[in-house]
């Protein structure tokens, strides 16, 4: 009886070994088929073949583990490649789906290098989605996508830059300034930095213009000062500041601001010289006021400047 039991055990072990060898052979064929299909550009079919290999190997335990990891690594690379292709083609939603699949398999095989690369690809995809929404004037939605991008890569410069543009549209000065800081911190693109500063400068310049119209001169000068922080050679901002100080009777500061405005290159400085004339006149420096008003040769202030010269200051 013992001999029979031993013989049966040997037979079962032989059968099991043969079956395991057969399954491992089938898995190997599926793996090789995946290579062939991938080479032919049949990516979907290749992934299916590699998955078949991985499933068979999973049933084989430790014996199939090595081949299983190889198959799943190939799947990771294929998903990554087609995901990046979709990203380059600006098919962002599909790219994100494929990158998600890449992450699943990269996690399985512990591919840290790929996982790190994925963070930048995800950031690029969500930034791209945000840009599309921005173009459709869906600014709040665009901000949501940029923030998703930053969840994957917190120092992704383009996401911070496009947040600047969206916050300008949303009239959110606080978040605008924060986003500009982040562009300065994370971007190595000088053109991008310049554009971010210009966007902020233009935003605060407009706020200054609007405050002047509303006769809110304290706000106007504060907004002009912010505009200058982002663009120091901002002649128009110094002009707004000069208006605000003149209206407040702060002629010394108005003179400084107006002199700055006329010091920069520009096609027409008539309006700037008009405010300089007002500042000098307010300070009692009539001769300098006459000289400044004489420079107002066009624009809406031409007649007013001429009146001050002839009828008030009696310039000769």
The whole-number mean pLDDT for each consecutive block of 10 residues of the chain, a chain of 316 residues, reads 43 42 72 88 90 86 83 92 96 97 93 93 98 98 98 97 98 98 97 98 98 97 97 96 98 97 88 97 96 94 95 90
| CA–CA dist 142, 127 (Å, integer) | 8
CA distances from residue 173 to 108, 163, 230, 292 in whole angstroms, order as listed: 44, 12, 13, 35
Longest alpha-carbon distance in the chain: 136
Q: Label residue 11 exposed, middle or buried (CB < 10 Å: 0-12, 13-18, 19+).
A: exposed
pLDDT tens sequence across 14-45: 433 444 556 667 877 888 888 988 889 898 89
Q: How many CA atoms lie within 13 A of 119 on its CB side?
A: 11
| CA–CA dist 302, 125 (Å, integer) | 54
Q: CA torsion angle for 14, 20, 22, 78 (degrees, to 10)? A: -170
Answer whether 240's CB lies under 8 Å from 205's CB: yes
The DSSP code for 311 is: I
What pLDDT is recorded for position 22? 67
Answer whether 17's CB lies under 8 Å from 9's CB: no
| CA–CA dist 222, 219 (Å, integer) | 5
Helix residue ranges per DSSP H, 110-189: 112-135, 139-152, 157-169, 173-186
> How many distinct helices (H) and strands (E) make up the chain?
15, 0
What pLDDT is recorded for position 185? 97
For each of the domains in the chain, give its residue range(s) and CATH number, in order of start. Answer: 23-108 (1.20.58)
Task: Say which residue the tokens 């971007």 belong to.
Answer: 187
What pLDDT is recorded for position 208? 98
Q: CA torsion angle for 239, 243, 248, 253 (degrees, to 10)? A: 30
What pLDDT is recorded for position 265? 81
User: Of the candidates 170, 160, 108, which has an alpha carbon nearest to the alpha carbon of residue 138?
Assistant: 170
Q: How many CB atoms lie within 10 A of CB 17?
A: 10
Q: What would you report as the CA-atom Rg of the chain, rounded to the nearest whole angstrom?
A: 35
What pLDDT is recorded for position 6? 45
Does residue 198 sit in helix, strand or coil?
helix
Does residue 282 sit in helix, strand or coil?
helix
What pLDDT is recorded for position 269? 93
């Amino acid at each position: 009886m013992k001999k029979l039991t031993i013989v049966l055990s040997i037979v079962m072990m032989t059968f099991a070994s043969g079956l395991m060898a057969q399954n491992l052979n089938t898995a190997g064929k599926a793996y090789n088929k995946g290579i062939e299909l991938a080479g032919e550009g049949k990516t979907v079919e290749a992934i299916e073949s590699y998955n078949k290999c991985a499933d068979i190997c999973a049933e084989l335990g430790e014996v199939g583990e090595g081949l299983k990891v190889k198959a799943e690594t190939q799947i990771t690379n294929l998903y990554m490649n087609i995901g990046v292709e979709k990203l380059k083609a600006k098919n962002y939603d599909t790219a994100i789906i494929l990158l998600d699949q890449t992450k699943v398999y990269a996690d399985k095989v512990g591919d840290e290098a790929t996982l790190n690369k994925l963070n930048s690809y995800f950031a690029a995809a969500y930034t791209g989605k945000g840009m599309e929404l921005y173009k459709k004037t869906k600014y709040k939605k665009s901000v949501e996508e940029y923030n998703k991008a930053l969840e994957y890569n917190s120092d992704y410069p383009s996401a911070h830059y496009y947040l600047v543009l969206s916050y300008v549209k949303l009239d959110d000065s606080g978040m605008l300034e924060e986003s500009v800081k982040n562009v300065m911190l994370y971007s190595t693109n000088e053109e991008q930095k310049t554009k971010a500063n210009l966007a902020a400068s233009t935003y605060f310049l407009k706020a200054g213009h609007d405050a002047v119209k509303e006769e809110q001169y304290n706000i106007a000068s504060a907004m002009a000062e912010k505009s200058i922080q982002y663009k120091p050679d901002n002649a128009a901002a110094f002009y707004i500041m000069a208006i605000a100080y003149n209206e407040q009777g702060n002629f010394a500061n108005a003179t400084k601001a107006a002199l700055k405005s006329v010091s920069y290159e520009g096609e027409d400085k008539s309006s700037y010289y008009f405010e300089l004339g007002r500042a000098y006149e307010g300070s009692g420096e009539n001769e300098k006021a006459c000289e400044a008003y004489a420079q107002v040769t066009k624009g809406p202030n031409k007649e007013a400047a001429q009146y001050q010269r002839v009828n008030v200051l009696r310039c000769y």
